[in-house]
Amino acid sequence: MDDDRLTGVGRPIRSGRDIGRDGISGGHRPAIRATIILLLFPLLASCSGVQSALDPAGSEASAVATLFFVMLTGGAVIWAGVVGLLFHAARKRRTYSEKGAGQLILWGGAVLPSVILAALLSYAVWLMPNVRPWFQAEDRGLRRVEVTGEQFWWRVRYLDDGGAVVFETANEVRVPTGERVVFLLKSPDVIHSFWIPVLGGKMDMIPGRENRLTLQAEKPGTYRGVCAEFCGASHALMAFTVHAMEPEAYEDWYKARQASSGTRDAQGLELFLRHGCGACHGISGTEARGAIGPDLTAFGERGSVGAGTLANEKDQIARFLRDPDAVKPEARMPHFSMLPEAEIDRIAAYLKGLR
């Protein structure tokens, strides 16, 4: 097809040069291009953050990000090549023989993609040990943290070398930087998935199984983990806070966490126990030893209320106590709206004060 036909009656197809002539004038085009590029920059900001796999803070996540960018570049180069060929074919300045076209299809359409895919596949498989390293925790004396996905929160237990529970907490994971930590992942109810995008890939938590995931944080900071497998009405409200801490700070926290301050506010504790909260929730060092719901030791230090549902403030705690189901659909905790407002506020203040 030559240019006469392109610009003929009805003008069914307009070439790029046509648009340049009678559409947007040549002088404006660089300005428009620059504007588009400038408008794209804010999008790049969304690549960073506490929950972005593209802004890694751990060695496994770095491997995932590297894999992503290599694949993205590979895909972009292939796309550019194909689009280039498309333009070449549309302009058609020269003709190819039947045989030449056949050769082009064979080499460009079959051999080249096979070779490129083989290379990318080999690279991805070769990178696997970095993306998902495997360590027998017991053999290497690695720190172990057992995380159980519940509907809809996270039970977190820190284990000693023998595998015994040192202490339990909920909806918050702390790891030392520069050290591999093995997570033992379980579920008592439905399939959940444990994912800290900033530190590494996701791993399912399957009832009746214990899956293992090794992560190594490199950059200290506070990050966000999520449930990555639909697990019920409040699946989207099942998040947790991740603190990657300098090793000394971690050790200090680990020691301090084993001593409880739950009895410091005697009146608040008395209300907490009188209304039966201790039947489901544990606070170490007190008579509250329930293990059905999240452990509340040092609750005031947590990043959120209700596994990432509300901000950890007194008013929000009170709101959750009054009617958990209203803020977190199908949460197992019963509502306590029948309690006097003053007592709800008092319990909320007690919980906020737990360190």
Partner 1 sequence: MKSIIPREVETLWTLFTAPTVWALHFIACYVTVAVFCAKRLPSSFTFDGVRIALVIVTALALAMIVLSGYLAWRQWGFGAADPPHDEPTRDARTLFQGFATLLLSGLSFVAVVFASIPLIFIAECQP
Spatial separation of the C-alpha atoms in residues 67 and 97, rounded to whole Å = 40
What is the amino acid identity at position 117?
L
Q: Work out the number of other CB atoms within 10 angstroms of the CB of residue 254.
A: 16
Q: Which is nearer to partner 1, 184 or 351 (CB)?
A: 184
Taking the complex as a whole, the smallest distance from the CB of residue 101 to partner 1 amounts, in Å, to 11
Q: Which is nearer to partner 1, 31 or 121 (CB)?
A: 121
Residues near partner 1 (CB under 8 A): 98, 110, 114, 117-118, 121-122, 125-126, 128-129, 134, 212
Q: Which is nearer to partner 1, 203 or 333 (CB)?
A: 203
Spatial separation of the C-alpha atoms in residues 162 and 179, rounded to whole Å = 19
* Token code pair at residue 84: 């280039």
Query: SS3 helix, strand, coil % of the chain, rounded to 5?
Result: 45, 20, 35
Taking the complex as a whole, the smallest distance from the CB of residue 118 to partner 1 amounts, in Å, to 7
Cα–chain-centroid distance for residue 83?
34
- In 3-state terms, what secondary structure has residue 282? strand
Rg (CA), the chain: 29
Q: Which is nearer to partner 1, 96 or 134 (CB)?
A: 134
Taking the complex as a whole, the smallest distance from the CB of residue 212 to partner 1 amounts, in Å, to 8
Taking the complex as a whole, the smallest distance from the CB of residue 16 to partner 1 amounts, in Å, to 34
Exposure class string for 267-285: b at 16+ Cβ within 10 A, else e: ebbebbeebebbebbbbbe
Taking the complex as a whole, the smallest distance from the CB of residue 266 to partner 1 amounts, in Å, to 49
User: What phi-psi label fits residue 232: left (phi over 0), alpha (psi between -120 and 50 degrees) or beta?
Assistant: left
Taking the complex as a whole, the smallest distance from the CB of residue 211 to partner 1 amounts, in Å, to 10
